[in-house]
Amino acid sequence: MDTFKYSRAQDMSQAIQAGAQSPTAQQGAPVRFVAGGTTLLDLMKLNVERPTQVVDINRLPLDKVEKLPNGGLKIGALVRNSDLAHDPTVQSDYAVLSQALLSGASAQLRNMATTGGNLLQRTRCVYFRDTAMACNKREPGSGCSALEGENRTLAILGTSPHCTATNPSDMNVALTALEATIHIQGAKGEREVAIHDFFLLPGNTPHREHVMEPGDLITFVSLPELRPGTKSVYLKLRDRASYEFALSSAAVVAEVADGRFKRVRIALGGVGTKPWRSLEAEKVLEGKKVDPAVFREASNAALRDARPQSENGFKVELTKRCLTHALALATKTA
């Protein structure tokens, strides 16, 4: 690991000022914030990230989960994954989020990892993690080793000829189905970004993963209040029963009335280059009867544009079944 200067931010403006000195907030940024450290230290040990300055933001007052006056929920960027998963309001009103968090990583990692850090979690693509291999995300223009290589776990939705790396987070999939808003403070003030717009598709610039600019600090995530009668579910399929990234996952947030879908939000994990909101599946479901044939129709629509690689064709059918089953779970009469 390269040497770096360590400092501890005493307040938000100190962190933002330090971050603003960096020419980028994306891959290879020379200034990095550290919170839980579970991604950053891992990648620094691999020389995938080589910051010259590490700013510890753990003492900033961003560790609360609070109900908003409008009925929504405000989640501080430094709330640990385990605390968020066990928060009583999250468990009762946003079950999909609690389930997604508890299906991710291990108990130790969940005690460390934060909300903001999980949003910015990096891909597990083996070529991104190996500096001996070509990777456009790590080294723009060097090529993509996954196209002709080991791509069994990689994405089938939102890919480009330059990158097929998967966003590995479970939390992000739940937050996408919940239509979360990311609140950012930066050198130019505060702004809010809908989670759907926060993550970028790889396109020609796979090294740009999100909208964060130098000095930007995620301060909190807010969730809208869900309408009465809304149920939510996270279903994750993987190679092991526990402590493994998703091959495929589905988050369903559904309001059902008189046996029909009134309002439904669908997001998929393990298959997209970003947490994958499926507007196509939602369009099929809205207004339709709660029925297995409808679930299957929506799942087919969600995967219509799938572009599998040499080893991950199985993910198309797996994801259809995953979403079909998640819809069944979410609409079981309480």
Please give the residue ranges that form the binding site for another protein (CB under 8 A).
1, 3-6, 8, 34, 36-38, 41-42, 45, 54, 56, 58, 82, 86, 105-109, 111-112, 241-243
Please report how close the Cβ of residue 228 comes to another protein at its closest, in angstroms: 27
Please identify, using beta-carbon distances, which residue of 78 and 281 lies nearer to another protein: 78
Please report how close the Cβ of residue 194 comes to another protein at its closest, in angstroms: 31
3-state SS assignment for residue 301: helix
Please identify, using beta-carbon distances, which residue of 124 and 262 lies nearer to another protein: 124
Tokens for 71? Answer: 């009925």
Please report how close the Cβ of residue 182 comes to another protein at its closest, in angstroms: 24
Please identify, using beta-carbon distances, which residue of 5 and 283 lies nearer to another protein: 5
Please identify, using beta-carbon distances, which residue of 21 and 106 lies nearer to another protein: 106
What's the CA gap between 127 and 143, in Å, rounded? 10
Please identify, using beta-carbon distances, which residue of 93 and 282 lies nearer to another protein: 93
Please report how close the Cβ of residue 295 comes to another protein at its closest, in angstroms: 27
Q: Which of 68, 273, 262 is nearest to 157 (CA)?
A: 273
| DSSP secondary structure string for all residues of 200-244 | ---TT-TT--BS--TT-EEEEEEEPPPPTTEEEEEEEE-SSSSS-
Chain-centroid distance of CA 4 in Å reads 28
Integer distance in angstroms from the first to the last C-alpha of the chain?
52
The DSSP H or E segment spanning 45 is helix 40-45
Please report how close the Cβ of residue 111 comes to another protein at its closest, in angstroms: 5
Q: By the 8 A CB rule, do 19 and 217 touch?
A: yes
What's the CA gap between 260 and 118, in Å, rounded? 34
Measured CA angle at 25 (ends 154, 208), to 5 deg: 35
Measured CA angle at 11 (ends 5, 15), to 5 deg: 40
Please identify, using beta-carbon distances, which residue of 8 and 196 lies nearer to another protein: 8
Please identify, using beta-carbon distances, which residue of 29 and 184 lies nearer to another protein: 29
Task: Say how many CA atoms lie within 13 Å of 205 toward its Cβ.
Answer: 8
What's the CA gap between 173 and 234, in Å, rounded? 9
Please report how close the Cβ of residue 306 comes to another protein at its closest, in angstroms: 30
Tokens for 177? Answer: 């189905």
Tokens for 34? Answer: 């550290």
Please report how close the Cβ of residue 229 comes to another protein at its closest, in angstroms: 27
Q: Cα–Cα distances in Å, from 325 out to 87, 167, 177, 284, 317?
A: 26, 22, 16, 16, 12
Please identify, using beta-carbon distances, which residue of 243 and 314 lies nearer to another protein: 243
Please report how close the Cβ of residue 134 comes to another protein at its closest, in angstroms: 22
